[in-house]
Structure 1
Amino acid sequence: MEYLSLRQTAEKWGLSIRRVQTLCSTDRIPGATKIGSYWAIPVDAEKPRDERIKSGKYVKRV
């Protein structure tokens, strides 16, 4: 299996390196593995949907 670095994945998806790192650490990218201090992301991994709040309002769902 081939892997990409944080930088390569960020360029591929049009995100910042920090955002991709956050997605990896919160298990939002399936198959992402931490090797030492580096993240390895599978080449065929799909960009996760952006679940951050865009309206600026926090909505409490029950």
Structure 2
Amino acid sequence: MDYISAPEAAENWGISERRVQKLCKENRIPGVVRFSRIWLIPKDAKKPEDGRMKAKNKQEDNHGI
């Protein structure tokens, strides 16, 4: 299996390297491996969905109570 580094994944996905590291630490990227201080991400891994709710959706959810 081919791997890429966190900086390469960050560039491919258009997010910061720090964000990629956090996603790795939270096990949100399947197949990720930690080698010493380096995160190795499968080359074919997809960017995880953003788990944050948008403010509009929160307001809609509160009105349904």
TM-score w.r.t. length of structure 2? 0.81
SS at match of 1:47: coil
> Where in structure 2 are the equivalents of 1:1-62 lying within 5 Å?
1-55=1-55
How well do the aligned residues superpose, as a CA RMSD in angstroms?
Answer: 1.6
- Aligned-pair CA distance for 1:53: 3.3
Unaligned runs of 5+ in 1: none
Unaligned runs of 5+ in 2: none
Matches of 1:39 and 1:24 in 2, distance apart?
7
Q: Percent identity?
A: 51
SS at match of 1:46: coil
Name the stretch that deviates more: 2-11 or 46-55: 46-55
Matches of 2:12 and 2:33 in 1, distance apart?
18
- Aligned-pair CA distance for 1:7: 0.3
- Aligned-pair CA distance for 1:52: 1.9
TM-score w.r.t. length of structure 1? 0.85
